[in-house]
């Protein structure tokens, strides 16, 4: 086997290592796990939150707008779901629904209790 195979072999090893690392998800947040809150996907919820909620609750729910700070506020699933569905204060009801709602609830709970 000539030297030309060395880059290919090293590249293949790196690919395998990357895949193993990706499967391990060593730094995946343990509480709550992505996708584990009320059937929602935390990661996708982050994008929904940024689009629909960050204007009032700030980036990452850290406050700064007319809405309260959500990050670290310790809000549970039922409270977040109620706020989204029924509205709260100046927040209108039903800003998001369906899968978006489940995802954004999962995200808010993750930043709230994480």
Partner 1 sequence: MLLGDVSETYTDLVTTVFSSTIAAKAWLASAALLLALVQVTTAARIYGRVSFLPERGPAISRVHRWSGRVAFLLTLPVFFHCVTILGFQTPDTRVALHSLVGTFFYGVFAAKVLIVRDRSLPGWALPTAGLTLASILGALWLTSSLWYFTTVRFGL
Closest listed residue to residue 95, CA positions, set 63, 65, 57: 57
CB closer to partner 1, 43 vs 97: 43
Distance CA(61)–CA(81), nearest Å, equals 16
Q: Of 12-20, 79-87, 92-100, which segment contacts partner 1 by CB under 8 A? A: 12-20
**Burial, 98: exposed, middle or buried (Cβ in 10 Å; 0-12, 13-18, 19+)?**
exposed
Instruction: Give 3-6's long-range contacts (Cβ < 8 A, gap of 24+).
Output: none
Identify residues 28-57 at the interface with partner 1 (CB under 8 A).
28-31, 34, 41, 43, 46-47, 49-51, 54
**Considering the complex, what minimum distance in angstroms separates the CB of residue 76 from partner 1?**
18
Catalog residues that contact partner 1 under the rule CB under 8 A.
3-4, 6-8, 10-15, 18-19, 21-31, 34, 41, 43, 46-47, 49-51, 54, 59-60, 62, 114
């Amino acid at each position: 086997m000539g030297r030309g195979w060395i880059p290919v072999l090293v590249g293949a090893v790196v690919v395998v290592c990357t895949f193993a690392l990706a499967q391990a998800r060593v730094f995946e947040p343990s509480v709550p796990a992505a996708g584990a809150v009320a059937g929602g996907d935390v990661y996708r919820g982050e994008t929904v939150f940024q689009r629909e909620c960050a204007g009032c609750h700030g980036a990452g729910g850290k406050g700064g707008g007319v809405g309260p700070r959500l990050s670290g506020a310790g809000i549970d699933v039922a409270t977040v779901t109620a706020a989204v569905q029924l509205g709260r204060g100046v927040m209108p009801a039903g800003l998001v629904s369906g899968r978006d709602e489940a995802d954004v609830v999962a995200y808010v709970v993750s930043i709230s209790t994480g």
